[in-house]
């Protein structure tokens, strides 16, 4: 199967979406799957990118939640893709989407998944499944934790279920995974992280509260 991994993060490196796709790749990589990778961190797609995507059996999008929805740069790209795909009648192409957000509760990503499913309907593609990931702020720190253990237990379980469905090319209900980590500790760690970041930029803790 030809699978396209589409990273919808605006970041060029160290993105949570990129990390999620790396982990997914490890679960899909064995066998006869050919995975091609794309970064939609641009306002417009090239004709070459679009032509390549039409040759794929499966599109896998991974992106961060922005203001309860799809980041605008990715939205511009999928609007462009809709125009292309709806003229092709390619209901054999399956779409899976992975959305992560800084909020602890995975269900806050639900509307972004609904929008992706609505995009599939408008584009004539087939919706496979969505994976909503809460606590995205801690994802990059899971790299050194053993798979299936501790704070990454729920993440690995959800990703493994999604990978199985991608391999079978089936449509299933969306999956919602909260971190295997207490919410209060996640909140405190996040706030500590912001204080560290503001100080690293030569500012003071109270500058986080600046009003214009």
Partner 1 sequence: MRLLIHDLYAENFQKLFSNSFEDTMIISDDGTIHNCIGCFGCWVKTPGACVIRDKYGDMGEYLSKCTEVIIISKCCYGGFSPFVKNVLDRGISYIHPYFVIRNKEMHHKRRYENHFDFKVWFYGENISEREKQTAQKLIKANSINLDCKSSSVKFIKNISEMEGMAL
* C-beta of 158 vs 179, nearer to partner 1: 179
Does the protein bind partner 1 through residue 116 (CB under 8 A)? yes
Does the protein bind partner 1 through residue 55 (CB under 8 A)? no
Does the protein bind partner 1 through residue 15 (CB under 8 A)? yes
Does the protein bind partner 1 through residue 13 (CB under 8 A)? no
- CB neighbour class for 165 (10 Å; exposed up to 12, middle 13-18, buried from 19): middle
Task: Give dist(CA 51, CA 102) in Å, integer.
Answer: 34
In total, the chain counts a number of residues equal to 212
Q: What are phi and psi of 113, to 5 degrees?
A: -65, -40
Does the protein bind partner 1 through residue 109 (CB under 8 A)? no
**Which segments within 53-138 are labelled E, that is strand?**
58-64, 94-100, 126-133
H/E stretch holding 187 reads: helix 183-200
Residues between 20 and 39 that touch partner 1 (CB under 8 A): none
Task: Give dist(CA 116, CA 156) in Å, integer.
Answer: 23
Q: Site for partner 1 (CB under 8 A): which residue of 51, 55, 68, 83? A: 68
Closest distance of CB 201 from partner 1, Å: 5
- CB neighbour class for 74 (10 Å; exposed up to 12, middle 13-18, buried from 19): buried
* C-beta of 43 vs 164, nearer to partner 1: 43
Stretch of 31-39, 48-56, 99-107, 157-165 lying at the interface with partner 1 (CB under 8 A): 99-107
Asked if 143 contacts 170 with a C-beta cutoff of 8 angstroms, the reply is no
Q: Site for partner 1 (CB under 8 A): which residue of 19, 61, 104, 181? A: 104
Given the rule CB under 8 A, which residues bind partner 1? 9-11, 15, 43, 64, 66-73, 75-76, 78-79, 103-105, 108, 111, 114-116, 118-119, 121-122, 183, 187, 190-191, 194, 197-198, 200-201, 203, 207-212
């Amino acid at each position: 199967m030809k699978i396209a991994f589409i990273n919808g993060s605006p970041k060029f490196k160290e993105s949570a979406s990129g990390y999620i796709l790396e982990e997914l790749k490890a679960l899909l990589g064995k066998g006869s799957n050919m995975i091609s990778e794309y970064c939609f961190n641009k306002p417009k797609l090239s004709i070459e990118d679009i032509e390549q995507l039409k040759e794929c059996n499966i599109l896998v999008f991974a992106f961060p939640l922005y203001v309860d929805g799809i980041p605008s740069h990715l939205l511009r790209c999928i609007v462009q893709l809709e125009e292309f795909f709806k003229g092709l009648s390619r209901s054999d192409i399956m779409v899976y989407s992975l959305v992560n957000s800084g909020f602890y509760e995975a269900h806050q990503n639900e509307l972004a998944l609904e929008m992706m499913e609505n995009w599939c309907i408008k584009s004539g593609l087939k919706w496979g499944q969505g994976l909503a990931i809460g606590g995205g702020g801690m994802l990059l720190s899971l790299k050194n934790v053993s798979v299936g253990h501790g704070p990454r237990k729920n993440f690995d379980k959800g990703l493994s279920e999604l990978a199985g469905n991608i391999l079978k090319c089936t449509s299933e209900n969306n999956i919602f995974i909260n971190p295997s980590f207490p919410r209060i500790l996640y909140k405190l760690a996040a706030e500590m992280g912001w204080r560290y970041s503001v100080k690293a930029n030569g500012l003071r803790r109270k500058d986080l509260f600046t009003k214009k």
